[in-house]
Structure 1
Amino acid sequence: MDTTDPAARVPARGAGEEGALLELRGHVAVVTLNRPSALNAVNSALSTAAGAALERARSEPDVRVVVITGAGRAFCAGADLKEIARGHRVDAPEHPDWGFAGIAQHWVAKPTIAAVNGFALGGGTEIVLACDLAVIDETASLGLPEVRRGLFAAAGGVIRLQRQIPLKAALEIALTGEPVPAARALDLGLVNRVAPAGTALAVALGLAEKIAANAPLAVQTSKRIVHRTYAAGSDWDGDVWKINADGVREVFASRDAREGARAFAEKRQPRWEGR
């Protein structure tokens, strides 16, 4: 889709402001957190808008991958503490099930990629942890500084961090509150790519296009099985193979599976239908 088309970039409104923007780029949806003057700190409007944007991306049949990034010089500065100090909620009032920023507990079957274009501490890092993949600008950093404010990383930070990196490294990050530079985040496996300054979104879009070129049903089933079996015990257990067998029944009998074999035999690019 031509991104110069006004229909390709639409506001996902929340509480009277454009808290997030949704842009459709062919098979990739870009969700942009859109409070640049507040470093994209999360208030109720942003949570509502970002969650609505994810729902739109989830329901669009042509969208195969979702990229989440921030407007301006920050990815996300976490919760808007000024709003919290005023006694205002910062979640999406009608969808508390979506979690922090409308993202942290919002399951989307399609792969999600965080394009960390800048500052991303606290809740910003928790959004990154909620995404399947992550690309970070070489000048950016991650971290969970909540303990320095008498809090803890309750939007998934202390749940997901140790599932994605070694335990002692996770505890150091959670207990010291110190930032994690981009290079260290890559070494730990918190991110998949470190992008040259100013190119995080472009690199993330390149990664998204590689995924979007694959069969969408196969990609979504792979994501689901990886997440469901990650902490399910031994890979010799019957339960994990039951989950795998369910995926086999869904994917291997699909039209896309037949198309993949046919395209290979005919030496052409496959034409995926997502079924």
Structure 2
Amino acid sequence: MTTSTTPRPPEPARAPDGPVLGRGYAEDREATVAFLARTEDALRAAGQDRAATAGTHTAARRARRRFMEHHAAALYAELTTGYREFLRLDDLAARTRELVPGLVPTKSQAEEERRRPQRDKEGRETDHGIFFWGLLRDDTAGPHLMEAMRRPTPRALAALPAFRATGRADLGLVTVERRGDTGEVTVDNARFLNAEDDLLVAVLETAVDLVLLDDAVRVGVMRGAPMTHPRYAGRRVFSAGINLTRLHQGEISLIDFFLDRELGYINKIFRGLSVPDTGADWLAEPVEKPWIAAVDTFAIGGGAQILLVFDRVIAADDAYVTLPALREGIIPGAANLRLPRAVGNRLARQAIFADRRIEAASPEGRLLCDETVPAGRLTEAVAAAAAELANPAVVSNRRVLHAHEEPEDEFRRYMATYAVEQCRRLTSDDLVENLERTWISRKR
């Protein structure tokens, strides 16, 4: 009798049992930290063998999820000194590294992950996604975090005196200029046709803050600059969506792009700036202003997403809108929440699932664009719209509209789900394959 010598495939590593929770915040934290330390030891021992580490990562993430389900509010209270501090996402993550080691990636783990192309990432940002999912879904921590993300950025506060004095701020990829009572934000990321990445998102938030903080500005306008790309030379472009080159290189982050973008400048356009209650008025209100989007040529992907938060969208009559996120393999920001409300469920699904191109001047395009004009008249049309929206009663009306068409808690719960599901997409095989195909095509 002979015995086969064909080697058997290695059996998957057995996931260690998770910590026992339910003894209170302090004891559960101690148990979770100890368990996560053991999983890190197991991951280091396994090295780069993804098959061997998959079960350990899963066990660790289940432990993180369970801890956040039990203790998000208590953890957030400790991180913010009893809800007295308003911290942005990256600051919360940094404090959590010290307070609950292992709950989010260490600084070195995050930096190492950032240096890898998307196809080689270990998926550490998933742990950030679990953390912010837990905070955003909590009815106590979540609203406070949302308010913190609507506070003016330090960079904007530093640039504000000069902007008030000169009426102009050059932020590199974006310029802000005050013309009468209109604040014009011009995006000029010409190398990438105004596609967004981590850097552009940060600069756009500074620009939006300046428009909202300057008392002389009553209406904000966003428009793309003339491009230098041979195909669009001299033509303005609103946005080419997410920067797929940066995503392929692994340089688009969950915090600095996907979450900061939605909770930062886009939410500020929609809901205004959150300001401290100084007691100067009987009811503290956010600093809000109406906004106009001027769409030359196209608004693709992220550009289409942000149209949904503007009070007036004016497009060139040959412009178009598309949402190719599904083809790219990601979730298109908050479009899944807002697009059905704007165009109806059927057209929204065609746009999101089938990348349907919508011409601005078509009947369907009029559901997204308030007005279409010849390209040469776009500046004139924007000025006329700004004069209408400068009416002081617009702000109160938009505040009531937004409070009931999209309650902030509804958006917050959406963002909790989005934080986790976008992580799933960023670590998916099909996303990497899509990026590889796009990258090879562009190199050709």
Partner of 2:341: 163
SS state at 2:267 partner? coil
Tell me: CA distance 1:188–1:172, structure 2 relative to 1, closer, same or farther (3 Å): farther
Match of 1:174 in 2: 352
Q: How does 1:119-158 map to 2 (within 5 A)?
A: 119-153=298-332, 155-158=333-336
Closer/same/farther in 2, CA of residues 91 and 63 from structure 1, 3 Å limit? farther
Is 1:201–2:369 an aligned residue pair?
no
Q: Could you tell me how far apart the structure 1 residues matched to 2:405 and 2:193 are?
A: 34
Q: Report the AA paired with residue 212 of structure 2.
A: R
Q: Is the alpha carbon distance of 1:226 and 1:63 closer, same or farther for their aligned partners in structure 2, counting shifts above 3 Å?
A: same
CA distance in 2, matches of 1:95, 1:24: 29
| Distance in 2 between residues matched to 1:173 and 1:98, nearest whole Å | 21
What whole-Å deviation, never above 9, does each CA across 1:17-61 have from its counterpart, x for those lacking one? Answer: x12110101111111111123110112221111110110111111
Task: Tell me the residue number matched to 1:87.
Answer: 250
The count of residues paired between Structure 1 and Structure 2 equals 217
Answer yes or no: is the 8 Å Cα contact 2:292–2:310 preserved in 1.
Answer: yes
Aligned residue in 2 for 1:37: 191
In 1, the alpha carbon distance for the partners of 2:187 and 2:371 equals 21
Question: 2:177·2:184 contact (CA, 8 Å) conserved in 1?
Answer: yes
- 1:44 & 1:187 partners in 2: Cα distance? 29
Q: Which runs of 5+ in 1 are unaligned?
A: 1-5, 13-17, 233-275
1:11 paired with 2:170, answer yes
Q: TM-score, normalised by structure 2?
A: 0.46
Q: Find the counterpart in structure 1 of residue 399 from structure 2.
A: 224
| Residue 104 of structure 1: how far off its partner (Å) | 2.6
8 A Cα contact 1:117 1:199, kept in partner: no
Q: Offset of 1:170 from its aligned partner?
A: 1.4
- The answer to whether the 8 Å contact 1:48/1:92 transfers is no
- The 3-state SS of whatever aligns with 1:56 is helix
CA distance in 1, matches of 2:244, 2:365: 31
Pair 1:170–1:188, CA change in 2 (3 A): farther
Give the number of the structure whose residues are more often strand, by fraction.
Answer: 1
Q: What letter matches 2:292 in structure 1?
A: I
Q: Deviations over 1:137-157 (max 9, x none)?
A: 11110111111222331x121
C-alpha displacement at 1:176, in angstroms?
Answer: 1.1
Give, in whole Å, the separation in 2 of the partners of 1:175 and 1:93: 26
Aligned amino acid, residue 89 of structure 1: I
Q: Give 2:206's aligned amino acid.
A: A
- The structure-2 alpha-carbon separation of the partners of 1:150 and 1:129, relative to structure 1 and needing over 3 Å to count, comes to same
Give me the whole-angstrom Cα distance separating, in 2, the residues matched to 1:57 and 1:227. 20
The one-character-per-residue Cα deviations of 1:225-256 (angstroms, maximum 9, x if unpaired) are: 01112257xxxxxxxxxxxxxxxxxxxxxxxx
Looking at structure 2, the residues matched to 197 and 188 of structure 1 have their Cα atoms a distance apart, in angstroms, of: 16
Would the aligned equivalents of 2:262 and 2:334 in 1 still touch at CA under 8 Å?
no
| Other structure's SS at 1:115 match | strand
Q: Where does residue 114 of structure 1 map in the other structure? A: 293
TM-score with structure 1 setting the length: 0.72
Instruction: Name the counterpart of 1:47.
Output: 201
CA contact (8 A) 2:358 2:365 kept: no
Contact 1:9 1:23 in 2 (8 A): yes
Superposed CA offset, 1:47-102 (max 9, x none): 111110110111111111111111123110001111111111368849954428x5
What residue is the counterpart of 2:119 in the other structure? none
The answer on whether the counterparts of 1:48 and 1:91 sit within 8 Å (CA) in structure 2 is no
- The one-letter code matched in structure 2 to 1:122 is G
Asked if the contact 1:185–1:191 (Cα under 8 Å) also holds between the matched residues in 2, the reply is no
SS class of match (1:62) = coil
How far apart, in 1, do the equivalents of 2:376 and 2:219 lie? 21
Deviates more, 1:61-70 or 1:202-211: 202-211
SS of the counterpart of 1:203?
Answer: helix
Is 2:204 the partner of 1:26? no
Shift, 1:209, TM fit: 1.4
Asked if the contact 2:343–2:364 (Cα under 8 Å) also holds between the matched residues in 1, the reply is: no
Q: Quick check: 2:198–2:257 contact (8 Å CA) kept in 1?
A: no
Confirm or deny: 8 A CA contact 2:318 2:361 kept in the other structure: no
Aligned mate of 1:103, from 244, 255, 265 = 265
> Contact 1:114 / 1:128 at 8 angstroms: preserved in 2?
yes
Does the 8 Å contact 1:117/1:198 carry over to 2?
no
Are the aligned partners of 1:143 and 1:173 in contact in 2 as well (CA < 8 Å)? yes
Normalized per residue, the structure richer in helix is 2
Q: Secondary structure at the match of 2:239?
A: coil
